[in-house]
Amino acid sequence: MGKIIVGNWKMNVGPLAQVRDWARAISLPSAVEVVLSPSTPFLSTVSAAVEGTNVKVSAQDCSSQPEGAFTGDVSASMLKDVGVSYVIIGHSERRQGHGETSDDVRKKAAQAIKAGLIPIICIGESEQERTQGKAMDVVRKQVMESIPDEATKGKILLAYEPVWAIGSGKTPSADDIRQMHGHILSVAAQRTGLAPERISVLYGGSVKADNAAGIMAVPGVAGVLVGGASLKLEEFNSILRAA
Ligand code: PGA
């Protein structure tokens, strides 16, 4: 299976004209699944700009509710309606900055699946948890609690994003990544009853042009979730070539 490369633009790319130019400037090795994740107001623009290519669009969050009186929230079915295929759920910037728990993540992921989206469920330990030797336990708990029952039927996409690696220029060693991805695969298989080949685990956190090939060569790494380096077109395109 080809690698999946997600460019998480966070709240960095705009205005509209720039978003459109960037979406069109991504060059596409055909065996790679490229996913762009712009801010909510630009989702339909990016969907239109990539129509007819193999680039897919991801939202950065969705509501845990199907519809109703939830001011400011956006439902998964609304995202689906404007051409979105994926949604990032439980990014550490949501877990930390907005107090989202694994319980919230599970409910959001359930809504995403019901609406026909593929949730990218993010998990990962903090620096303190790693130094205290708790990384495996913390991640096990997040995986068990964040995957909804709805995910036990099809396929599942997770992203291992150690919090201390995001935007820091630091990455775990290849050995640490291999060990953690194997752990996540086995916990997710236990949680869902799915065969391991139906579970994909991306790596995210300081992926750059110069480390992408090495990280993607680690067994158990199905692709990468890229933040900062997705904001530099040249660099992002060279990560796609590495895939
Ligand atoms: P980074 O961010 O590539 O800038 O470390 C990754 C992410 O937060 O998804």
Encode pLDDT of 181-236 as tens digits. 999 999 999 999 999 899 999 999 999 999 999 999 999 999 999 999 999 999 99
Task: Identify whether 161 is a catalytic site residue.
Answer: yes
CB of 211 closer than 6 A to ligand 1?
Answer: no
Residue appearing with tokens 């300081």:
206
Q: Give the per-residue pLDDT at 214.
A: 98
CATH number of 4-58+74-242: 3.20.20.70
For ligand 1, say whether the CB of 96 is within 6 Å of any of its atoms. no
pLDDT in tens, 21-43: 999 888 776 789 999 999 999 99
Give the C-alpha separation, 102 to 9, whole Å.
23
The length of the chain is 243
pTM above 0.85, yes or no: yes
Looking at this protein, which amino acid is placed at residue 125? E
Per-residue pLDDT band for 136 (boundaries 50, 70, 90) equals: very high
Q: Is 181 a catalytic residue?
A: no
Q: Which atom of ligand 1 is nearest to the CA of 8?
A: 9
Q: Where exactly are the structural domains of the chain?
A: 4-58+74-242
Q: How far is the CA of 4 from the centre of ligand 1 (A)?
A: 15
Residue with CA at minimum distance from ligand 1 atom 1 = 227
